[in-house]
C-alpha cells in the first residue's frame, strides 16, 4: 500500500493474517488451516505467514485467543453493569442467545477448546482467560452474599459454554428456556431451586 511505512505494512499484514485465521478456524476447523490456505485467504504469499509469526500454530493461537478475549470481555461487561449477579447472568444469557452454535464465533471457541486438549500453551492461555472471567463472576456472587460463590461461578461458566455448544445441536434452545434455572444458581438466598 502506497504511503505506508514498513511498520504500518507489517501491522496491516499481521491483522489480515489474524482475520483470515479467525475466519478459517470456524469454517474449516483448526487442523485444516494450512499456511497455504491461510495465505491465500489473506491474499499474501505463504512465506509472509512465517515472517510475521513464529509458526502457524502461534498464529492460530493468537487469532483464537484474541476473539475469545473480545467475546469474554463483551460478556463480562454485562455482569459489570448489572445490578447484581442474577441480573448479570440473565443479560449474559440473552447476549449469548445470538450465537447459534454453528456461527463462526461459536465454532472458533469449539475448535480452540478441542485444539487445547493437544496444545499445552493454548490450554494454559484459555484457562487464564476463563479464570479471569470466572473471577469476575465469583466476586460479584461474593458481594451479593451467595453461600457458595466459587462453585456457582464454575457452574454458570459451564452452563454458558454448554448453552452455546448445545444450540448447534438444538436450534430451538433459547436463553428464555434456561434462564430461570441459571438465575436460581446465582441467587444468594436459594438452594438452586428455580423461581
pLDDT tens per residue, range 30-84: 999 999 999 999 999 998 898 999 999 999 999 999 999 999 999 999 999 999 9
* 194 domain-assigned: no
* 193 domain-assigned: no
Which range of residues forms the domain containing residue 178?
6-186
Query: pTM score, two decimals?
Result: 0.88
pLDDT of 95 higher than 70: yes
Enumerate residues 6+ apart whose C-beta is below 8 A from 128. Answer: none
Share of the chain above pLDDT 90, in %: 87
Give the total number of structural domains in the chain.
Answer: 1
C-alpha 20/C-alpha 183 separation (Å) is 38
Question: What's CA 86's distance to the chain center, in Å?
Answer: 21
* 181 domain-assigned: yes
* 1 domain-assigned: no
- The domain that contains 62 carries what CATH number? 1.10.357.10
pLDDT of 193 higher than 80: no
* 195 domain-assigned: no
Amino acid at each position: 500500500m502506497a504511503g505506508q511505512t514498513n511498520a504500518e505494512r507489517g501491522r496491516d499484514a499481521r491483522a489480515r493474517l489474524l482475520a483470515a485465521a479467525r475466519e478459517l478456524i470456524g469454517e474449516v476447523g483448526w487442523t485444516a488451516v494450512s499456511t497455504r490456505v491461510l495465505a491465500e485467504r489473506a491474499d499474501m504469499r505463504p512465506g509472509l505467514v512465517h515472517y510475521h509469526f513464529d509458526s502457524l500454530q502461534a498464529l492460530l493461537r493468537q487469532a483464537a485467543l484474541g476473539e475469545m478475549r473480545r467475546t469474554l470481555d463483551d460478556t463480562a461487561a454485562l455482569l459489570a453493569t448489572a445490578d447484581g449477579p442474577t441480573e448479570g447472568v440473565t443479560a449474559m444469557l440473552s447476549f449469548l442467545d445470538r450465537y447459534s452454535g454453528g456461527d463462526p464465533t461459536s465454532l472458533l471457541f469449539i475448535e480452540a477448546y478441542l485444539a487445547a486438549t493437544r496444545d499445552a500453551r493454548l490450554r494454559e492461555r484459555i484457562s487464564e482467560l476463563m479464570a479471569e472471567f470466572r473471577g469476575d463472576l465469583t466476586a460479584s456472587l461474593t458481594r451479593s452474599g451467595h453461600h457458595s460463590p466459587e462453585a456457582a461461578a464454575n457452574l454458570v461458566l459451564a452452563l454458558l459454554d454448554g448453552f452455546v455448544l448445545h444450540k448447534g445441536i438444538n436450534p430451538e434452545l433459547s436463553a428464555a428456556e434456561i434462564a430461570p434455572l441459571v438465575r436460581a444458581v446465582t441467587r444468594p438466598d436459594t438452594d438452586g431451586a428455580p423461581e
